[in-house]
C-alpha cells in the first residue's frame, strides 16, 4: 500500500478520515447518483396520490390518480391536435390536484378536482382558449367514473391503504352474507306460513274476510268458502317441537349483529351499534374475539339447523343430541370465514416486545386476523450502538416466523410497493386464515427523530430505495397458491429478481463534457447513504484522488479476500449541483451489505431461484399413462375388421366354465326372460350367472344367441346327460 | 348457503340410497330394447351420486323413451309430445335446487319439439338431456322419424324415406351457446354411464344423443357397429371421458379429442364410419340462463302480493258500480 493510497484504505478499514482531501458527505449534501432522476416527485407521475374508491362495483378499490387520468385520456383523447390539447389540459389538472394533495389539502377526488378546475380556469388556460379549456374539463369530468378519498404518501399511508382494502372486503362480505341470511329467513317463514295456511285458523271466516279486504266483502260468501276449504285440505300441522325449533332459529338469525341487514332497514342504527373490528393492539382483538365467540357459535348452529329444516333433512333422533353438544370446538375454518375479520394495525417502535407474544398467538391461531405490522425503521439504533448493523432484522423476523406457520398469508413490502401489489394485498385481506402485512413506511427512525433526520428524501423514495437495495425485499407467501409447496414464497414482486442487486442505466457527462452512460447497481450501501445516521460511514473523495483501485461496491462484494484487500469500495453520489462524486465506504457497512446479499439469496432460494446452480429444468408435461399410450398407439395402426366372436376377451376364471362379461351388459332382459333364476342382475343392473344349476345348457346357449352384445359365453355343459348336446355344442362354440 | 358444519350434520344421517330406491314401476319396454340400458345407467348414476329422490325430477315428452319417468322413483313429469324442454325450463327457473333430467326421443326432440330444442340449447339452463335416438316412431308402431335412415320403409314411407336423416349432434354443435354435446350408444354401457355422468356434472345444458336399438321396429339397424367393435371410435380425454384399459382392449379405435375443440368436434360428429362415442364438445364457461335472470331482490310474499294486486287492479270490476 503506497503512501498516497493509505488515507482511502485507512478510512475503509477504520472509518477515520486522515490527511487532506476526504470530506464529509453530509456537509456537502451528497446523495446517491441514481436519485438524480427523482429529485422532485411533484413533477413526476407515479403511484401517488391514491384514490380510495368508495364503490368499486367489481373494479379495484384502490386506483392511483395517474391511472384514473390515463383511463380518462384513453377514453376521450382522440389522436390529432384536439386530442393533444385535451391531453395537455387534463394533465395540467392532474398536476394541480397532485400539488394540492402535497400541500395538505384533504377531501375526495371530486372535491380536489373542483378546486383544481377553478384554479386552472382562474389562470385562464391557453391564451384566448378558455372555451377549449372548458370543453376539456367538461369532457374529462364526464369520463370520470370513480370517486373516493384522495391520499398522498406519508407514514400513515400503509394503514390507510390496508384499512380501505379491508373495509371494502368487509362490505362485500356483509352484502353477500346478509342476502343469504335473508333468503334463509324467508324460506323458514314460508315453512311457518305454509303451516298456518293449512291450519283451522286460516280457514276461519274472519281470516278469509281479511285476505280479501273490505272493498269486495259483499261479493263473497265467506262461510261457504270456509266450509269448502276446511274439507278440501288435508290437515297436517307442523309438530309443535319443530315449530318451536324453527321459531327459535328465526329469532337467532334475525337478531344477529355481526353484519348490517342487506335491505338497509335500520342499517344506520345497526352500523352504529355494530361491534368494532379494528384494533391497535393484539390483546384487545383477541379479547373481542373470545367475547363474541359464543354468539358466533349460536349463529352458526342456527344457520345449520335452518339449512337442514329448509332441505327437510332435520332428524330429531340424530340431530337433537348433535346440536345439544355443539360448541366452539366444532367450528371449522369455513364457518369462521363467514364472519367479519379483525384488522390489527401495529406500529413498531412502541411496545413491540409486549406485542410479540400476542402476535404469535394471533398468527398461529388459524383465526381470521389481519395484521399490519408497520416498520418505521429497518435499521435499529440499538444494533448500531453495538457495532453491527441489523437492518430490517426485527421487522423481517416476524415475517420469517410467520412463514413457518401453517396457513398464514404473509406479504412483506415497502409502502412504495403497495399500489403495485394491490391485487396481492386484496388476496391477503380475503384470505380465510390469518394474514401478516409487514410494511416499511420509509421513515428513518421513530417520528420523534424526524426533525433530526431532515426529510430531504421523500418517504416514498426512501421506501422504494429499501426495496431496490434489497434491504427490505418484497416477498409474498400465499398458502393457497397453486405453486408447489417448496416454492410458495414469491419474490417476483422485486425489481430484477434474478439479480443480486438491481442495476439501472445512468447517464452523465464526463470530464470532457461528453455524454456517457453506465449501468450502476443500487446496493444496500446506497440505501444507507440516504440515512443521515450513516453519513460518517462514508467519505467523499476529491476527483484528483480517484484511483484505479477504487471499485464500485457491487463489484467489490464479488472479490475474493486477497484481491479485496487491495481495493477500496465506493458508490457514486451527486451534490445539489448535480456534480458527480465518489464516496468510499467503511468496512462495517460493506459487511452489512454482504449479509443483506446473503439474505436476499436465501429468499430467492425459497422461491426456487437458485443463484448458485443452473436454473431448475422447466417442469415437463406430464406424460400420459402408459396404458393409454399403448392404446393410443394401437389406435393408430390399421383397423382389422373382426366379428364380435373373434375379439380377445377377458379370460374366464376356469377354462370351459360359462361366464358373462357383466360390465358390458346392456340390461336388455333377453337372458333374464329365458331364466330369471339362472341369470340375475347385480347392483348395477347388469347380468351375471346367478345359479348355473337353475337352468339347462340349452338355455345358456339360447341366452348367448339372443344376447345382443354377445357377452354370454356358454362354456362346456356341466350336465353331460342333457339331451341334444350334439346340436347345442356347435352353436355354443360360436360364443366360446 | 350451506355451512361446513351442515355437511357434518348431514353425514350423521344414515341415509344411503341403494339402486333399488330409484326403481319405479316395472319397465314395459320390449325385450332387448336399448331403453333398458339407458335406464340402468341413469339409476346407477343416481345411486353413485346419492341424489335425493325428492330433489330429482325427470321430464319427458311422448314416445317409448318418454315412459322413463314412470320407471324412476323420483319426481317426474310426463308431458306433451315435443314439449319436455319448456316444461323442464320452467321447473328449473322456479326450483333451481332440483336436479332436472329431460328424456326425449328422436321424434319428440327433432320433429315436433325442434323449436324448443334449438332454444333450449341457446338458454343453456343447467339440466341433462338424454335423447333416445332409435330412428323410428316406435310407440305408435313404425313411422319414419327425422333420424330414420334414408330409404327406410315404414308405415308412413312405404316406398322408403326420401330425405337424408338429420344429425342431432351436428345441429347442436351449430348452436353458438351449446355448452355440452355428446354421443353415446346403448350397447357400450360403461361409456354410456360415464358420458351421462359427465353430462350430469357439467354446469349447463348437457345434450346427449344416445343411439338406441329398437329390436321390434328397427332390428339390425346398428348390427354393423354392435358386432364390430373396431367400427366404433371412442373419444378419450381427461376433460371428456377417460376410456379405461379394459374398454380399450375391446374397442381399440380411440382418439384423443379435446372437447374444447369445436371444429374438430364438428368433423367427428359428421360421420358414422367409424361411429364416434364420447364427449364431443364441452364449454364450462358458458353462462346459464337462470343465472343471467337471477333477480336482484328476493321475492318475499309482500312483494309478490303487491305485484299481483297491481296487475289485478288493471282489470278490476267494481261490483258496486
* Chain A closest-CA separation from residue B226 CA (Å): 7
Contact B5 A335 (CB under 8 A): yes
For B244, the closest chain A residue by CA position comes to: A628
Put residue B271 in one of left, alpha, beta given phi > 0 → left and psi -120 to 50 → alpha: beta
Contact B187 A683 (CB under 8 A): no
Strands A475-477 and A489-490: antiparallel
For A184, the closest chain B residue by CA position comes to: B1
**What per-residue confidence (pLDDT) applies to A8?**
81
CA distances from B15 to A313, B10, B52, B241, B279 (A): 10, 9, 9, 29, 32
**Residue A380, C-beta contacts closer than 8 angstroms, at least 6 positions apart:** A390, A393, A394
400-419 in A: which are within 8 Å (CB) of B?
none
Q: How many helices (H) and strands (E) does chain B have?
A: 12, 11
**What per-residue confidence (pLDDT) applies to A641?**
33
Rg (CA), chain B: 21
Tell me which residue has cell 319439439. Answer: B113
For B98, the closest chain A residue by CA position comes to: A311
DSSP 8-class letter at B12: T
Topology adopted by domain B5-288 = Rossmann fold (3.40.50)
Strands B136-137 and B143-144: antiparallel
Q: How many CA atoms lie within 13 A of A78 on its CB side?
A: 4
Cβ–Cβ contact A640 with B under 8 A: yes
Sheet holding A489-490, edge to edge: A278-279, A342-347, A369-375, A435-440, A409-414, A475-477, A489-490
Categorize the per-residue pLDDT at B22 as very low, low, confident or very high, splitting at 50, 70 and 90.
very high
Among B39, B43, B255, select the one facing A635 at the smallest CB separation: B255
Contact B6 A338 (CB under 8 A): no
**Residue B229, C-beta contacts closer than 8 angstroms, at least 6 positions apart:** A642, A644, A647, B250, B251, B252, B253
Q: How many CA atoms lie within 13 A of B192 on its CB side?
A: 28
A266 φ, ψ (degrees, to nearest 5):
70, 15
Put residue A167 in one of left, alpha, beta given phi > 0 → left and psi -120 to 50 → alpha: alpha
CA distances from A596 to A398, A492, A586, B47, B283 (A): 17, 18, 16, 62, 50
Least Cα distance to A134 among A93, A104, A100, A105 occurs for: A93
Collapsing DSSP to helix, strand or coil, A385 comes out as helix
Q: How many helices (H) and strands (E) does chain A have?
A: 26, 21
For B297, the closest chain A residue by CA position comes to: A179
**What per-residue confidence (pLDDT) applies to A397?**
67
The residue ranges of chain A whose pLDDT is under 70 are 1-5, 19-20, 39, 56-58, 124-130, 233-236, 261-275, 348-354, 380-398, 445-456, 482-488, 609-653
Q: Which residues of A touch B31 (CB under 8 A)?
A: 668-670, 673
Strands A687-689 and A580-585: unpaired
**What per-residue confidence (pLDDT) applies to A395?**
60
* Chain A closest-CA separation from residue B168 CA (Å): 23
A91 φ, ψ (degrees, to nearest 5):
-70, -35
Least Cα distance to B99 among B69, B130, B74 occurs for: B74
Strands A435-440 and A369-375: parallel
For residue B232, what are the β-bridge partners?
A: B275
User: What is the grid cell recorded at A247?
Assistant: 321459531
Tell me which residue has cell 342333457. Answer: A722
Q: Which residues of B touch A646 (CB under 8 A)?
A: none
* Chain B closest-CA separation from residue A662 CA (Å): 10
For residue A435, what are the β-bridge partners?
A: A370, A409
Q: Does residue B125 carry a pLDDT above 60?
A: yes
* CA–CA distance, A203 with A235 (Å, rounded to integer): 11
User: What is the grid cell recorded at A530?
Assistant: 440516504
Cβ–Cβ contact A647 with B under 8 A: yes
**What per-residue confidence (pLDDT) applies to A482?**
65
User: What is the grid cell recorded at A664?
Assistant: 358390458
For B224, the closest chain A residue by CA position comes to: A643
For B18, the closest chain A residue by CA position comes to: A683
**What per-residue confidence (pLDDT) applies to A637?**
33
**What per-residue confidence (pLDDT) applies to A394?**
57
Alpha helices in A474-624 (DSSP H): 524-529, 553-556, 561-564, 587-606
For residue A509, what are the β-bridge partners?
A: A515
**What per-residue confidence (pLDDT) applies to B13?**
72
HEC secondary structure over A389-414: CCECHHHHHHHHHHHHCCCCEEEEEE
- Residue-wise pLDDT tens digits, A129-156: 568 888 899 999 999 989 999 999 998 9
DSSP 8-class letter at B238: T
A260 φ, ψ (degrees, to nearest 5):
-70, 160
Categorize the per-residue pLDDT at B282 as very low, low, confident or very high, splitting at 50, 70 and 90.
very high
**What per-residue confidence (pLDDT) applies to B315?**
86
Report DSSP letters for A181-205, one per residue.
HHHHHHHHHHHHHHHHHTSTTTTSH
Collapsing DSSP to helix, strand or coil, A469 comes out as coil
- Residue-wise pLDDT tens digits, A656-671: 889 999 988 999 889 9
* CA–CA distance, A429 with A175 (Å, rounded to integer): 17
Q: How many CA atoms lie within 13 A of A548 on its CB side?
A: 0
Q: Which residues of A touch B274 (CB under 8 A)?
A: 639
Count Cβ–Cβ pairs < 8 Å, chain A vs chain B.
154
Report DSSP letters for B46-84, one per residue.
HHHHT--GGGEEEEE-SSSGGGGGGGBSSEEEE--TT-H
Q: Which residues of A touch B39 (CB under 8 A)?
A: 667, 685
Strands B127-133 and B99-105: parallel
Domain chopping of chain B, boundaries: 5-288
Reported ipTM: 0.83
Helix (H) or strand (E) holding B34: none
Q: Give residue A303's Cα distance to chain centre.
A: 28
Q: Give CA torsion, residues A544, A550, A554, A560, to 10 deg.
A: 180
Alpha helices in A152-262 (DSSP H): 157-197, 205-212, 222-232, 240-254
Cβ–Cβ contact A303 with B under 8 A: yes
Report DSSP letters for B81-143, one per residue.
TT-HHHHHHHHHHH-TTSEEEEEEEHHHHHTTTHHHHHHHHHHT-SEEEEEEE-SEETTTTSE
Amino acid at each position: 500500500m503506497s503512501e498516497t493510497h493509505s488515507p482511502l484504505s485507512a478510512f475503509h478499514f477504520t472509518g477515520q478520515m486522515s490527511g487532506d482531501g476526504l470530506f464529509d458527505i453530509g456537509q456537502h449534501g451528497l446523495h446517491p447518483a441514481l436519485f438524480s432522476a427523482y429529485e422532485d416527485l411533484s413533477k413526476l407521475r407515479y403511484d401517488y396520490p391514491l384514490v380510495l374508491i368508495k364503490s368499486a362495483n367489481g373494479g379495484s378499490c384502490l386506483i392511483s390518480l395517474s391511472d384514473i387520468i390515463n383511463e380518462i385520456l384513453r377514453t376521450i383523447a382522440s389522436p390529432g391536435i384536439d386530442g393533444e390539447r385535451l391531453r395537455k389540459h387534463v394533465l395540467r389538472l392532474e398536476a394541480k390536484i397532485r400539488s394540492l394533495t402535497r400541500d395538505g389539502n384533504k377531501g375526495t377526488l371530486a372535491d380536489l378536482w373542483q378546486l383544481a378546475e377553478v384554479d386552472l380556469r382562474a389562470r385562464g388556460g391557453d391564451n384566448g382558449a378558455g372555451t377549449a379549456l372548458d370543453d376539456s374539463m367538461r369532457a374529462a369530468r364526464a369520463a370520470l367514473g370513480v370517486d373516493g378519498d384522495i391520499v398522498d404518501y406519508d407514514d400513515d399511508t400503509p394503514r390507510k391503504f390496508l384499512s380501505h382494502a379491508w373495509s371494502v372486503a368487509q362490505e362485500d362480505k356483509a352484502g353477500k352474507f346478509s342476502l343469504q341470511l335473508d333468503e334463509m329467513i324467508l324460506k323458514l317463514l314460508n315453512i311457518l306460513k305454509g303451516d298456518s295456511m293449512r291450519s283451522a285458523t286460516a280457514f276461519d271466516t274472519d281470516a278469509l274476510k281479511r285476505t280479501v279486504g273490505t272493498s269486495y266483502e259483499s261479493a263473497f260468501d265467506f262461510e261457504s268458502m270456509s266450509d269448502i276449504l276446511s274439507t278440501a285440505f288435508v290437515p297436517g300441522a307442523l309438530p309443535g317441537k319443530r315449530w318451536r325449533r324453527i321459531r327459535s332459529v328465526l329469532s337467532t338469525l334475525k337478531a344477529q349483529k355481526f353484519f348490517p341487514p342487506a335491505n338497509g332497514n335500520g342499517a344506520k342504527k345497526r352500523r352504529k351499534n355494530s361491534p368494532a373490528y379494528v384494533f391497535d393492539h393484539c390483546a384487545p382483538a383477541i379479547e373481542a374475539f373470545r367475547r363474541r365467540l359464543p354468539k358466533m357459535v349460536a349463529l352458526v348452529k342456527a344457520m345449520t339447523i335452518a339449512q337442514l329444516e329448509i332441505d327437510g333433512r332435520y332428524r330429531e333422533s340424530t340431530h337433537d343430541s348433535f346440536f345439544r353438544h355443539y360448541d366452539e370446538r366444532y367450528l371449522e375454518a369455513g364457518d369462521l370465514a363467514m364472519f367479519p375479520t379483525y384488522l390489527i394495525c401495529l406500529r413498531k417502535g412502541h411496545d413491540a416486545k409486549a406485542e410479540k407474544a400476542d402476535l404469535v398467538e394471533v398468527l398461529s391461531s388459524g383465526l381470521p386476523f389481519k395484521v399490519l405490522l408497520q416498520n418505521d425503521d429497518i435499521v435499529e439504533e440499538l444494533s448500531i450502538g453495538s457495532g453491527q448493523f441489523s437492518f430490517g432484522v426485527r421487522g423481517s423476523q416476524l415475517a420469517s416466523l410467520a412463514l413457518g406457520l401453517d396457513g398464514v398469508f404473509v406479504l412483506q413490502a415497502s409502502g412504495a410497493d403497495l399500489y403495485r401489489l394491490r391485487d396481492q394485498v386484496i388476496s391477503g385481506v380475503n384470505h380465510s386464515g390469518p394474514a401478516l402485512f409487514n410494511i416499511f413506511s420509509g421513515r428513518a427512525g421513530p417520528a420523534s427523530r424526524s426533525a433530526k433526520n431532515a426529510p430531504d428524501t421523500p418517504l416514498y423514495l426512501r421506501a422504494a430505495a429499501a426495496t431496490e437495495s434489497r434491504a427490505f425485499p418484497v416477498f409474498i407467501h400465499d398458502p393457497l397458491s397453486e405453486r408447489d409447496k417448496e416454492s410458495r414464497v414469491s419474490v417476483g414482486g422485486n425489481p430484477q429478481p434474478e439479480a443480486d442487486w438491481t442495476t439501472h442505466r445512468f447517464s452523465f457527462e464526463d470530464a470532457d463534457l461528453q455524454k456517457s452512460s453506465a449501468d450502476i447497481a443500487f446496493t444496500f450501501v446506497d440505501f444507507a447513504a440516504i440515512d443521515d445516521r450513516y453519513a460518517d460511514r462514508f467519505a467523499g473523495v476529491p476527483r484528483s484522488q480517484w484511483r484505479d483501485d477504487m471499485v464500485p461496491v457491487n463489484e467489490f462484494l464479488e472479490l475474493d479476500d486477497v484481491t479485496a484487500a487491495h481495493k477500496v469500495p465506493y458508490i457514486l453520489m451527486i451534490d445539489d449541483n448535480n456534480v458527480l462524486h465518489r464516496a468510499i465506504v467503511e468496512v462495517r457497512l460493506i459487511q452489512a451489505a454482504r449479509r443483506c446479499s446473503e439474505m436476499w439469496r436465501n429468499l430467492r432460494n425459497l422461491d426456487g431461484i437458485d443463484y448458485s446452480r443452473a436454473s431448475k429444468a422447466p417442469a415437463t408435461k406430464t406424460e400420459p399413462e402408459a396404458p393409454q399410450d399403448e392404446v393410443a398407439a394401437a389406435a393408430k395402426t390399421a383397423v382389422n375388421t373382426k366379428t364380435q366372436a373373434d375379439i380377445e376377451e377377458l379370460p374366464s376364471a376356469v377354462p370351459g366354465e360359462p361366464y358373462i362379461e357383466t360390465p358390458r351388459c346392456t340390461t336388455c332382459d333377453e337372458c333374464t326372460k329365458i331364466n330369471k333364476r339362472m341369470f340375475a342382475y347385480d347392483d348395477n343392473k347388469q347380468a351375471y350367472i346367478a345359479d348355473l344349476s337353475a337352468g339347462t345348457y340349452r338355455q345358456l346357449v339360447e341366452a348367448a344367441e339372443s344376447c345382443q352384445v354377445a357377452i354370454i359365453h356358454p362354456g362346456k355343459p356341466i350336465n353331460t346327460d342333457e339331451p341334444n348336446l350334439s346340436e347345442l355344442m356347435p352353436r355354443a362354440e360360436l360364443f366360446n | 348457503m350451506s355451512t361446513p358444519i351442515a355437511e357434518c350434520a348431514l353425514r350423521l344421517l344414515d341415509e344411503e340410497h341403494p339402486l333399488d330406491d330409484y326403481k319405479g314401476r316395472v319397465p314395459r319396454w320390449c325385450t332387448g330394447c336399448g331403453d333398458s340400458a339407458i335406464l340402468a345407467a341413469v339409476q346407477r348414476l343416481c345411486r353413485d351420486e346419492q341424489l335425493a329422490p325428492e330433489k330429482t325430477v325427470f321430464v319427458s315428452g311422448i314416445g317409448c323413451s318418454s315412459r322413463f319417468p314412470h320407471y324412476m322413483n323420483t319426481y317426474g313429469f310426463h308431458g306433451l309430445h315435443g314439449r319436455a324442454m319448456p316444461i323442464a325450463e320452467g321447473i328449473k327457473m322456479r326450483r333451481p335446487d332440483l336436479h332436472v333430467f329431460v328424456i326425449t326421443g328422436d321424434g319428440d326432440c327433432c320433429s315436433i319439439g325442434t323449436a324448443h330444442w334449438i332454444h333450449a340449447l341457446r338458454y343453456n339452463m343447467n339440466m341433462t338431456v338424454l335423447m333416445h335416438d332409435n330412428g323410428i316412431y316406435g310407440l305408435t308402431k313404425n313411422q319414419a322419424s327425422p333420424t330414420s335412415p334414408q330409404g327406410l320403409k315404414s308405415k308412413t314411407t312405404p316406398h322408403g324415406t326420401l330425405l337424408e336423416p338429420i344429425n342431432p349432434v351436428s345441429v347442436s354443435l351449430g348452436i353458438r351457446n351449446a355448452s355440452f354435446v355428446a354421443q353415446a350408444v346403448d350397447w357400450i354401457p360403461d361409456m354410456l354411464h360415464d358420458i351421462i355422468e359427465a353430462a350430469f356434472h357439467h354446469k349447463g345444458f348437457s345434450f346427449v344423443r344416445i343411439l338406441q336399438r329398437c329390436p321390434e321396429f328397427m332390428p339390425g339397424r346398428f348390427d354393423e357397429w354392435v358386432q364390430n367393435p373396431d367400427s366404433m371410435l371412442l373419444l378419450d380425454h381427461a376433460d371428456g371421458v377417460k376410456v379405461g384399459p379394459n374398454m380399450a382392449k375391446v374397442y381399440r379405435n380411440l382418439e384423443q379429442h379435446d372437447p374444447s375443440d369445436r371444429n374438430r368436434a364438428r368433423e367427428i360428429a359428421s360421420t358414422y364410419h367409424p361411429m364416434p362415442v364420447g364427449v364431443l364438445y364441452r364449454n364450462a364457461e358458458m353462462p346459464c340462463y337462470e343465472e343471467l335472470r337471477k333477480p336482484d331482490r328476493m321475492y318475499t310474499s309482500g312483494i309478490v302480493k303487491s305485484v299481483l294486486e297491481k296487475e289485478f287492479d288493471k282489470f278490476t270490476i267494481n261490483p258496486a258500480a
